[in-house]
Structure 1
Amino acid sequence: MYSFLSGLYKHLTRREAYYIVIIGLDNAGKTTLLERIKSIFLGVPGLPPERIAPTVGLNIGRIDIGGARINFQDLGGQTDLQTIWERYYRECHAIVFVVDSSDPERIEECRDALEKVILDDTVEGVPVLMLANKQDMPQALKLESIKEIFNKIAERLGARDSRVLPISALEGTGVKDAVDWLFLRVQRNKVNRPPIIISQ
Structure 2
Amino acid sequence: MYHLAKGLYRLATSKEEYSVILLGLDNAGKTTFHEQAKSLFLPERPDPKLKTVPTVGQNVSTLTLPDMYLKIWDVGGQLSLRKLWQSYYSSCHAIIFIIDSTDIGDGLLPLGALSASDPAGAGGGAGESGGGGGSSAKEATEGRLDECRLVLEDVLQNSEAEGVPVLILANKQDREDCVEVVRIKEGLVKKVFEGEKASSVRDSRVLPVSALTGTGVREAVDWVRSRVKWNKESRPPVMR
Query: What is the aligned partner in structure 1 of residue 102 from structure 2?
Result: 102
1:111 aligns with 2:112: no
1:133 aligns with 2:174: no
1:183 aligns with 2:222: no
Shift of 1:8: 1.5
Which among 179, 182, 195 is matched to residue 144 of structure 1? Answer: 182
Which among 187, 209, 215 is matched to residue 167 of structure 1? Answer: 209
Cα distance in 2 between the residues matched to 1:56 and 1:141: 28
Shift of 1:157: 6.1
Secondary structure in structure 2 of the residue aligned to 1:150: helix
Secondary structure in structure 1 of the residue aligned to 2:15: strand
Unaligned stretches of 5+ in structure 1? none
Shift of 1:61: 1.7
Deviating 4+ runs (over 2 angstroms):
45-49, 156-159
Q: Which amino acid aligns with 2:224?
A: L
Greater share of residues in strand: 1
Please give the TM-score of this superposition, normalised by the length of structure 1.
0.94
Alignment map for 1:27-66 (pairs within 5 Å): 27-42=27-42, 44-49=45-50, 51-66=51-66
Query: What is the aligned partner in structure 1 of residue 70 from structure 2?
Result: 70
Cα distance in 1 between the residues matched to 2:189 and 2:201: 16
Q: Deviations over 1:58-97 (max 9, x none)?
A: 0012111232100000000000100000000000000000
Give RMSD over aligned pairs.
1.3
Cα distance in 1 between the residues matched to 2:215 and 2:160: 31
Shift of 1:46: 2.9
Unaligned stretches of 5+ in structure 2? 105-142
Cα distance in 1 between the residues matched to 2:158 and 2:201: 16
Secondary structure in structure 2 of the residue aligned to 1:152: helix
Shift of 1:153: 1.2
Q: Which amino acid aligns with 1:120?
A: N
Q: Deviations over 1:162-191 (max 9, x none)?
A: 011000000011110010000000000011
Shift of 1:48: 2.7
**Quick check: 69-78 or 101-110, which moved more?**
101-110
Q: Number of residue pairs matched?
A: 197
1:194 aligns with 2:236: yes
Among the aligned pairs, what percent are the same residue? 47
Query: What is the aligned partner in structure 1 of residue 7 from structure 2?
Result: 7
Secondary structure in structure 1 of the residue aligned to 2:21: strand
Shift of 1:111: 1.1
Shift of 1:47: 4.3
Q: Which amino acid aligns with 2:182?
A: E
Secondary structure in structure 1 of the residue aligned to 2:10: helix
Q: Which amino acid aligns with 1:77?
A: G
Whose radius of gyration is greater, 1 or 2?
Answer: 2
**Quick check: 152-161 or 96-105, which moved more?**
152-161
Q: Which amino acid aligns with 2:152?
A: L
Shift of 1:42: 2.0
